[in-house]
Structure 1
Amino acid sequence: MTTQPARTTEPKWKEPGELPPASARDAAAVVGDVLLPVLAGGVIVRRPLAMRAVEKTGWDRRGIERVRGLRERYGPDPLRFSARGRTYALVLEPEDAHRVLSGTPETFTPATWEKRGALAQFQPHGVLVSGGQERAARRRFVEEVLDTPQPVHRTAERLTATVRDEAARLLGEAERSGLLTWDAFQDSWWRTVRRLVLGDAARDDRTLTEQLQQLRSAANWSLVGPRRRDLRATFLRRVRSYVDQAAEAERSGTGERSGTGGAAHSLAALVAATPAAPGADPAGQIPHWLFAYDAAGMATMRALALLATHPAQAATARAEAAETALEGPRELPYLRGCALEAVRLWPTTPLILRESTEETVWRDGTLPAGTVFVLHTPYLHRGEPAEPYGDTFTPGLWTGASEWAARANPALLPFSSGPAGCPGENLVLLTVSTLLATLLEAHTYTLASHPGLNPSVPVPATLDHFALRFRVHRDAVRRDAAHRDAAHRDTAHRDEG
């Protein structure tokens, strides 16, 4: 590991004082190599053409190397620079990233001006853009509905059945064409997500998803573009209608129930049934879950691309998928690790922002209140602090005894961390790992795109998920065995009945 070098210039302030800013040249480099690739690719919804360009040019790799070089030149303190009249500080040290995230929301609020401007387009009352007592009430409500600390959500039986049902249809189409493409996967994924979040009645509600996509596209430009208030109101009414349907079904006793303790089948049904404090806006939290599940779909296909090109890891994953029946919910730790690795290698949130609510003191100086701290997760996940696994696909990093070390590593933030860390992490990992297990149960895959992705070279810094394409092969032995096992279990269940 590289030792910390001395600063190349003497500090230009007298103690106590503010941390010095980056030079004009280095500030421009931060904007050009760190911020612009993220903005070009799309902060709220990814842009296909821009993603293709970022992947082709290696722009993200330059950003990682740029941050590494700035750390060596300036030392560990957050690097201050200005853009658009705002004071920013690029976090260079993993321990400082931990401090910023663990100090949320009191000292470092997630509700930055940039984030409020973007997310207000489709979730004006979401937790991430809330403050004070409203934020606390909304966060408590969200954690209750999402079963935040539980690896297996209370809707897990229904979730597993839904994922397997939609995956079977997707695989049927893939077998007929011989290919699995992003477009086909995305259609299937959104049908799955709508059922899990809003209920089976929303399965084919493409209009709702299209409205969300339009609002997210507007959010990419929200700092310079107008609010689409009419579209937002229409979209939110549509979301609330599914919660109202679930509440009415609960009152009338006609709602679908699972066989385990009467647990609701969808998150919307849980929203309708869960008490909420004043100001929580229960239905208003759902748009963020839909938004987050989109990123989970990207991670799923990227994980499949890694497994299709890394035979050793694929063998372990397939063995885990074959260990026990897939019909019931399972934790699937190795496949969860595959999903976490996909997010580590290609963060779905490349920039984590926090705004200081007070002056903060660092090693060699201070930063004023109102400073926006920027955590560049591609650097944190792959840069010097993440060695020796920075550019390798290492699912075992997140399993067994290694998981504790990974979770304790302040550089690894696949789902952020601290009081504003993703409350749906376990639910997302359950969904993604269940889908990956289903896809691997009786099929193998050859990556027909991205020939540069293979275990003999570093994993590329960008993977354009829009361009992913797989050749699909039926594994007759595994398929027949799975069918026999399923038939045996069905017979056993009938006998027990």
Structure 2
Amino acid sequence: MDTARVAAEVVAPTLAAGVIKRRPWVMAVADRFQWDRPAISLLRALHAKYGKGPLRLRIPGRDIALVLDPGDVERVLEGSPSPFTPASIEKRAALDHFQPHGVLITGGPRRADRRRYNERVLESDSPRHSLAGRVTAVVAEETEWLLTHNPGRLDWVAFNEMWWRVVRRLVFGDAARDDVSTTALLDSLRKRANWAYLSPKARNRRSAFQHRLTELLDRAEAGSLAASIADTPAPEGVAAAGQVPHWLFAFDAAGMSTLRTLALLATRQRQAAKAMDDLDDEHHRYLRACVLDTVRLWPTTPVLLRESTEPTAWNGDSEVWRAGTTFFVFTPYFHRDPETVPFADSFEPEAWLDGRIEDYPALVPFSAGPAGCPGENLVLLVTSTVLAELLRRAEYRLLAPRSLNRRETLPATLDNFGLRFTWFGWFA
């Protein structure tokens, strides 16, 4: 019965919303009925009922372990890629639709080479990527274009168009600014990826996307990640171009979080004042913390999957799970459990700056461990720069949804597609 409840209240709503590409109409329903709240409550109840250690879900023919304890999240993520590989069967089936050579679904020695290559190009260890000056210039141009062409109003459609112009210019160069056909191809492949192994692969479409990707990268326009790829030698088998689809995938989630962060700042005076003080900080530390806490509140990756490559012992070696077990981490539960996170339902960017976050290893907005997002710092650079430019140029008032008001308790689910603002001010 508990397995059935997890399937109905956690797995089904997550899949319905679209794990790889969000479905706007489903997100609207999820927001209206706050789908994440009962899922979080259910997992809290299961943790209280069964105690520590992963919970075996009774799925015929599969070993599925539902992770319920924060310490186990840390163990599973820190143990990647062995004995807990991120290349689970479900993830391989989904991501193979549009990134067959991506590091997340690569195993063995080749994975290490691809991971190192991603880290070098994305400059994972640097809070400020070498393209930071270029990011600032591109974002300034595109935010001005956005506000000029949308006087007094802002919604998801307008913001998303601007966001992808920024992304295409940063990844491929200025010539790709209006190349919506390439990103539309990726979107169509990601929609199929939502169905994983239940949908046949659109091989011709994937081939057309990969061909277009190669053309864009071959130009290696200065001031773009394409140029960084051209300047970074790739060991045999890395498939440098094959890493780019996942970067674009990640930037889509980053756009969702950016507009959600703007909505929070439009409705929270204290944090908005601190954000304004942050505009002259070239590292935008406070705005980065705002984005991190937004992703904590509404994870863009609601499920983290790891598959064991060998038998693993739990509960003091009293329980052994065999190799091939899928470990299922539902991040909204860990991020929003008020029993373990005192600020679970509040916007608390300061926690990412004052050291408190170290006490909560299961708060993983960008995943964690050796398989954590290699583009985290680059994403935070772009998102914080966009927010800084928007705040510098205007003042925003949130029109919808009404659930995001000035109350301290924030909604468990937030539909980014339904965000609407009016804005005031003069910008140069």
Q: Would you call these one fold, judging by a TM-score over 0.5?
A: yes
1:280 aligns with one of 211, 231, 238:
238
Residues 223, 337 of structure 1: alpha-carbon distance in 2 compared, 3 angstrom cutoff: same
Decide whether the 8 Å contact of 2:260 with 2:416 is kept in 1. yes
TM-score, normalising length from structure 2?
Answer: 0.97
Deviations 1:163-216 (A, max 9, x none): 1111110111222xx210100001110111001111111111100010000000
Deviations 1:291-323 (A, max 9, x none): 0000000000000010111111111101211x3
Task: Write the distance in 2 (CA, Å) between the matches of 1:69 and 1:194.
Answer: 44
Q: CA deviation at 1:63?
A: 0.4
Q: Within the alignment, does 1:204 sit opposite 2:155 as a pair?
A: no
Aligned equivalent of 1:307: 265
1:132 aligns with one of 105, 108, 118:
108
Q: CA deviation at 1:138?
A: 0.4
**Aligned positions of 1:67-466 closer than 5 A:** 67-83=43-59, 85-175=61-151, 178-246=152-220, 256=222, 265-321=223-279, 323=280, 330-363=282-315, 364-384=318-338, 386-399=340-353, 401-402=354-355, 405-407=356-358, 409-466=360-417
Task: Write the distance in 2 (CA, Å) between the matches of 1:97 and 1:385.
Answer: 16
Aligned equivalent of 1:19: none
Amino acid at match of 1:380: F
SS of equivalent to 2:150: helix
Task: Write the distance in 2 (CA, Å) between the matches of 1:84 and 1:163.
Answer: 50
Aligned equivalent of 1:7: none
SS of equivalent to 1:105: coil
Task: Write the distance in 1 (CA, Å) between the matches of 2:101 and 2:258.
Answer: 28
Amino acid at match of 1:127: V
Amino acid at match of 1:38: T
TM-score, normalising length from structure 1?
Answer: 0.84
SS of equivalent to 1:471: strand
**Aligned positions of 1:462-473 closer than 5 A:** 462-473=413-424
Residues 84, 186 of structure 1: alpha-carbon distance in 2 compared, 3 angstrom cutoff: farther
Residues 385, 156 of structure 1: alpha-carbon distance in 2 compared, 3 angstrom cutoff: farther
The runs of 5 or more residues in structure 2 that have no matched partner are none
Deviations 1:249-289 (A, max 9, x none): xxxxxx54xxxxxxxx1111111110111110001100000
Task: Write the distance in 2 (CA, Å) between the matches of 1:174 and 1:317.
Answer: 23
Deviations 1:106-144 (A, max 9, x none): 100100110000000110000000011111110010000
Count of residue pairs brought into register by the alignment: 426
Task: Write the distance in 1 (CA, Å) between the matches of 2:339 and 2:370.
Answer: 23
Decide whether the 8 Å contact of 1:386 with 1:411 is kept in 2. no
SS of equivalent to 1:299: helix
Aligned equivalent of 2:37: 61
Residues 312, 211 of structure 1: alpha-carbon distance in 2 compared, 3 angstrom cutoff: same
SS of equivalent to 2:247: helix
Deviations 1:77-99 (A, max 9, x none): 10011336321111111110000
Residues 407, 159 of structure 1: alpha-carbon distance in 2 compared, 3 angstrom cutoff: farther
Residues 123, 407 of structure 1: alpha-carbon distance in 2 compared, 3 angstrom cutoff: farther
Decide whether the 8 Å contact of 1:94 with 1:385 is kept in 2. no
Q: CA deviation at 1:159?
A: 1.0
Task: Write the distance in 2 (CA, Å) between the matches of 1:456 and 1:342.
Answer: 16
Aligned equivalent of 2:21: 45
Residues 443, 207 of structure 1: alpha-carbon distance in 2 compared, 3 angstrom cutoff: same
Task: Write the distance in 2 (CA, Å) between the matches of 1:80 and 1:144.
Answer: 39
Task: Write the distance in 1 (CA, Å) between the matches of 2:107 and 2:208.
Answer: 25
Task: Write the distance in 1 (CA, Å) between the matches of 2:340 and 2:139.
Answer: 33
Residues 152, 386 of structure 1: alpha-carbon distance in 2 compared, 3 angstrom cutoff: farther
Q: CA deviation at 1:442?
A: 2.6
Aligned equivalent of 2:9: 33
Deviations 1:428-448 (A, max 9, x none): 000000000000003111111
- How many percent identity over aligned positions? 51
Deviations 1:393-417 (A, max 9, x none): 0111111x32xx3145212100000
| Structure 1 runs, 4 residues or longer, greater than 4 Å off | none
Q: CA deviation at 1:457?
A: 3.9
Residues 83, 166 of structure 1: alpha-carbon distance in 2 compared, 3 angstrom cutoff: farther
Task: Write the distance in 2 (CA, Å) between the matches of 1:271 and 1:385.
Answer: 45
Q: CA deviation at 1:222?
A: 2.2
The runs of 5 or more residues in structure 1 that have no matched partner are 1-24, 247-254, 257-264, 325-329, 484-497
